[in-house]
Amino acid sequence: MPELITLGEFIFDRQKEFKDATGDLSAVLRDISVAAKIVNRVVNRAGLLDIIGNSESENKSGDAQQKLDVFANKWFKRMMMSSEECCGFASEEEEDFVAFETETGKNAKYLVIFDPLDGSSNIDVNVSIGTIFSVFHRKSGFGSTCTESDFLQAGDEQVAAGYVLYGTSTMMVYTTGNGVNGFTLYPSIGEFCLSHANIRIPDKMPNYSINQGYYEIMTEHVRSFIEKRKAENKSLRFVGSMVADVHRTLLKGGIFIYPTLKTHPKGKLRLLYECNPMAMLMEQAGGKAIDEHGKRILEIQPEELHERSSIAIGAASAVDEFKHG
């Protein structure tokens, strides 16, 4: 058996590469991994526990909340509140951001933004789902609670981003701006271990990923792109969970697109909770991420916590082809 490198060991070793590192960001990432293990344990028992189905509530974006959404949000929020390095938390499942009012919270330097459970409606049919996260430096002064402006930073300001995929195996993939690495949960020891070092997206388009059922309410630009892929006999791949679709794209190449629609003229995915962290990851792996108008996702200045955006993300050549028609 090859030597196992745990997430904790990897984070500690990488921390030594930065002379000004204090260990605070490393601690935030470890806290996220602990919450992910708790969520993973429940996801793997979903058919045996009463956590499948609708919770009979909606989140701020108007989406029906699944019971598992509420559970995952609770645990990620709890872990961030107990962290001494986190000043606040924003979640797709919360109406507003949460500022931590403890003394340590007022003096912490990082804030974390989550989509606690992406694709949660798929849990009923045992399809892969995930968690998406990003980490920012606070902009407000220490000694007071963080403010909304701390959360409304452009994606270029992220100091870390990643996702956890709950599938046939559970993986945590993240970047701190120095490449992308993936860790697979080793159940017998309860640790994430390095399995995918220095991930680079293949610069090719073996397939494309889009919900083609919305074809009639897409723009002409997107429909033209689809028709060209069909003429090339490209395979369509779409899971319906952004984490699963982007994960496949990251490892295999191609492109994932969630465009504007007549029913969602600004796009459907959330800029802060989904697009920004995935865009940082993809760029760090050599890919690109733009909105339907060709603007780089990480340069978009958010104006509200639950702002929506279109996105085309994947291999650089595939995204360029989408951009230029």
Alpha-carbon distance 39 to 35, whole Å? 6
* Tokens of residue 274, six digits: 């989904």
Helix boundaries (H) for the chain: 7-15, 24-43, 67-82, 103-106, 148-151, 220-231, 242-252, 276-284, 316-324
Residue 165 lies in a domain: yes
Which CATH number covers residue 312? 3.40.190.80
Model confidence at 47, in pLDDT bands (50, 70, 90)?
A: low
Query: End of a domain among 174, 196, 218?
Result: 196
Is the same domain home to 120 and 268?
no
| 69 included as an active-site residue | yes
Is the same domain home to 216 and 75?
no
Average pLDDT of 88-104?
Answer: 95
**First-last CA distance in the chain:** 48
Average pLDDT of 29-34?
Answer: 95
Residue 201 lies in a domain: no
* Tokens of residue 291, six digits: 């909105």
| 118 included as an active-site residue | yes
> Active site residue: 118, 150, 245, 291, which one?
118
Q: Is pLDDT above 60 for 109?
A: yes
Q: Is pLDDT above 80 for 60?
A: no
Average pLDDT of 221-234?
Answer: 97
> Active site residue: 31, 85, 92, 292, which one?
92
Is the same domain home to 139 and 221?
no
Q: Average the pLDDT over each of 12-21, 39-48, 163-172 and give the range with the smallest value.
A: 12-21
| 63 included as an active-site residue | yes
> Active site residue: 31, 69, 191, 245, which one?
69
> Active site residue: 25, 68, 117, 185, which one?
117
The model's pTM: 0.93
| 31 included as an active-site residue | no
Q: Average the pLDDT over each of 2-6, 39-43, 56-60 and give the range with the smallest value.
A: 56-60
Model confidence at 61, in pLDDT bands (50, 70, 90)?
A: low
**b/e map of 134-153 (b: 16 or more CB within 10 Å)?**
bbbebebeeeebbbeebbbb
Model confidence at 159, in pLDDT bands (50, 70, 90)?
A: very high
Residue 312 lies in a domain: yes
Is the same domain home to 214 and 181?
no
Neighbours of 122 (CB within 10 A): 18
Number of domains in the chain: 2
Model confidence at 55, in pLDDT bands (50, 70, 90)?
A: very low
Q: Is pLDDT above 80 for 33?
A: yes
Q: Is pLDDT above 90 for 16?
A: no
Beta strands 255-258; 207-209: pairing state: parallel
* Residue range of the domain that includes 106: 7-196
Mean pLDDT, rounded, of the chain = 91
Q: Is pLDDT above 80 for 99?
A: yes
Average pLDDT of 146-163?
Answer: 98
| 92 included as an active-site residue | yes
> Active site residue: 31, 115, 150, 191, which one?
115
- Which percentage of the chain shows pLDDT scores above 70? 91
